[in-house]
Amino acid sequence: MTPKKPPRAGRPSAADRRRAERLRDEIRRHDHLYYVLDRPEIDDAAYDRLFRELVELERAYPGLATPDSPTRRVGGEVLPSFPEVRHVAPLLSLDSVTDPAAVGRFDERLRKDVRGPVAYTLEPKFDGLSLELVYERGRLARASTRGDGVRGEGVTANVRTIRSVPLRLRTGRRKVPSRLAVRGEAIMHARDFERLNARLAREDRPLFANPRNAAAGSVRQLDSRVTASRPLRVACYDILAITGGPRLKTGREALAALADWSVPVAAEAARATSVDEILAYHRDLEARRDRLGYEIDGIVIKLDDLAARRRLGVTARHPRWALAFKFAPRAEATVIERIVVQVGRTGALTPVAELRPVSIGGVTVSRATLHNREEIARKDLRVGDTVHVVRAGDVIPDVVARVPTRGRRARPFRMPSRCPECGTPVVREGPLDRCPNGLACPAQLKGAIAHFGSRDALDIRGLGQETVEALVASGFVRSVADLFALRAADLVTLDRFADVSARNLVAAIDRARRPELWRFVYALGVPQVGTQTARDLAAHFGSLERLMAAGEDALREVSGIGPAVATAVAGFFRRKAVRRIIDQCLDRGVEPQRAAAPQTGLFAGKTVVFTGGLESMTRAEAEARVRAGGGRTSGSVSRNTDFVVAGSDAGSKLDTARRLGVKVIDEKTFRRM
């Protein structure tokens, strides 16, 4: 396509409009060839001439510019924060295995459930940042990160800058759906990652540890111009929802449809009909993983029949029709240079090995947890030892064994008798060492504040670890109650805050002043109280005052709470320091919202357990309906269970319910209730 010089004045002619559309189509085609297929047809100079011509044409005639024009990828939008987005469909995690025998058991179960010929779609398991892309009438309308699987961060402006992502679906081969939701992964190729780090090094800026961190950090930039400058790509592998498009019957057909619409998919996808073929694909891809050009940590096995997938459904976390078959952890030898002890939110002391930096699968590892004193003694680990280190699941560094050597070794490591943060004598609890100093210990204070603002607690946006450390170091925050006394004028005196970020954090704290009671209870960090127990306590007592006044006998009356939890909760609220912090929170405007009185109806005071996949709602939505009806949910079946809701492919909970004589209902009955 020969570039032409566009006119500089007047209204665009029909020829100008045709030229602009041809340029856009041609640039999209070259983007797809280069960023998706790795098969460029023209050199960079020729591509730049086409792009410049389109820029000049749209500049001369602004009315010619379209929202999905390739020129709109350059970025420029700066956001104060990412909006929360609810996904079209849940973005579930995968059950994962490393044992070939587990793959065989997965195959046996599916063949039993499907009762017919079984085929699989096999794909690489990408190691990147999971995304949902939503297209409306063929145009990219929204992009979001996975988040908690139900809600994520809206990163549309950033994803629009990624050249492998089509802003408009290609028409022609297949009908373009009126709505299409796609799941994919933001990744960075190894050669692009190396170039990016080289550029950052020249600019004297911090380097990324690995391609995955680089991809995740680049997508989550508040300034889309930064994202546009990063060599990101996206690989897609699943259709989450489709409306008004072709009727697709298999996973392979779905991947082919995505490719026809110019959505990037893995060229390494394959089909298998037996466990032997799956194992062969796994061996082949593991042997070639370092030559693929991008990071993978295993393969994904998916039932090919889409209708069968829908019938099998999902568990609370995983689809029943898919499995991740991970590669063996990458292992390397290195030296323990030092052992340091960290103090966590609950006061637990954790020994951590500082290692001579070693690259494991492209990731530089310099630290690994040693868990506790008994684990160190079992492996006989000492400073100066050469050890084998793996990245468990290709993610978490773990010291697996010491390499036997001759010669003298350092003395055995001993856990400190006093807390390294505050000097308080340490107490032993089984294999664990713990500092009993509570929030008077700086390390526990930092952990408590971070937990207080976490998503399941008060969900204070912007209260990350670095911010917490700065607040504690400055003396502005000496307890969680001090958060509610912070002013923007205080924050701007700290290095990491400007006017906008200071106002944003104060606004986020203000929004957290009226939390649901269960969230406030969970945020306080009551020992042995997770989110479900916090909900149970809030529902039973109805107010913070009644909960704080409850003795152990009253606490044992709460469904699902035994003697140990009752003792822990009662003891927590008896502590003067805890009551002082709660009083300070209330004095500074915190108003925990009274739990709604249990509604009358079939769920009032009842315990409900779910098993199997639900078709009309997610597990989270179903549990919310039970709680709204005055009931509680549990993850296990006991004689105290009132109902078990059995969905498709119900598991062992159904057998337990039948054995104990617990009432079992189906999803249709549950919806009527």
What CATH number is given for 607-672 in this structure? 3.40.50.10190
Active-site option among 4, 5, 112, 125: 125
Decide if 379 is catalytic.
Answer: no
The answer to whether the beta carbons of residues 389 and 379 sit under 8 Å apart is no
Read off the pLDDT of each residue in 106-134 and give the average, rounded to a whole number.
Answer: 91
**Residue of 593, 598, 671, 669 whose CA lies nearest to 628:** 598
Residue 115, number of CB atoms within 10 A of its CB: 8
State yes or no: pLDDT of 112 exceeds 80. yes
7 pLDDT more than 70: no
Residue-level pLDDT at 616:
66
**pLDDT over 90 (residue 278):** yes
pLDDT at 4 over 60: no
Which residues make beta-bridge pairs with 223?
78
Q: Is 60 exceeded by the pLDDT of residue 326? A: yes
Question: pLDDT band for position 1 (50/70/90)?
Answer: low
The mean pLDDT of 457-468, rounded to a whole number, is 88
Least confident window among 359-373, 484-498, 581-595: 359-373
> What ranges do the domains of the chain cover?
14-74, 96-326, 331-405+416-429, 438-511, 517-587, 607-672
This prediction's pTM: 0.54
Q: Could you identify the residue written with the tokens 């062992």?
A: 652
DSSP-derived letter for residue 33 is I
User: If you search the block for the tokens 């057998």, which residue do you land on?
Assistant: 655
Q: Give the CATH number of domain 14-74.
A: 1.10.287.610
Instruction: Confirm whether 331-405+416-429 and 517-587 share one CATH topology.
Output: no
Choose between 517 and 50: higher pLDDT: 517
Quote the pLDDT of residue 65: 76
362-374 mean pLDDT: 85
Which one is the CATH code of 438-511: 3.40.640.10, 3.50.50.100, 1.10.150.20, 1.10.357.10? 1.10.150.20
User: For 415-447, how does the pLDDT look when each residue is reduced to its tens digit (9 = 90+)?
Assistant: 999 999 889 999 998 888 989 887 778 888 888
What pLDDT is stored for residue 383 in this prediction?
Answer: 94
Output helix, strand, coil percentages for the chain, rounded to the nearest 5: 40, 20, 40
How large is the average pLDDT for residues 401-405?
Answer: 87
Q: Where are the beta strands (DSSP E) in 89-138?
A: 96-97, 120-126, 129-136
What is the pLDDT confidence band of residue 24, given thresholds at 50, 70 and 90?
A: confident
Architecture category of domain 517-587 in CATH:
Orthogonal Bundle (1.10)
Residue predicted with more confidence, 79 or 210: 210
Please give the DSSP secondary-structure letter assigned to residue 426.
Answer: P
Give the pLDDT band (50/70/90) at residue 628: low
pLDDT tens, residue by residue, 507-528: 999 999 999 999 999 999 888 8
DSSP code for 594:
P
Each residue of 236-253: pLDDT tens digit? Answer: 999 999 998 899 999 999
Separation of first and last alpha carbons in the chain: 65
- Return the CATH architecture of domain 96-326: 2-Layer Sandwich (3.30)
What is the H or E stretch that residue 434 is in?
A: strand 432-434
Q: Looking at the domain covering 331-405+416-429, what would its CATH class be?
A: mainly beta
Average pLDDT, stretch 584-608? 77
Q: What is the pLDDT of residue 80?
A: 64
pLDDT at 455 over 80: yes
**Would the pLDDT of 410 be above 70?**
yes
Examine the pLDDT at 635 and tell me if it is beyond 70: no
Token digits of residue 226: 């930064």
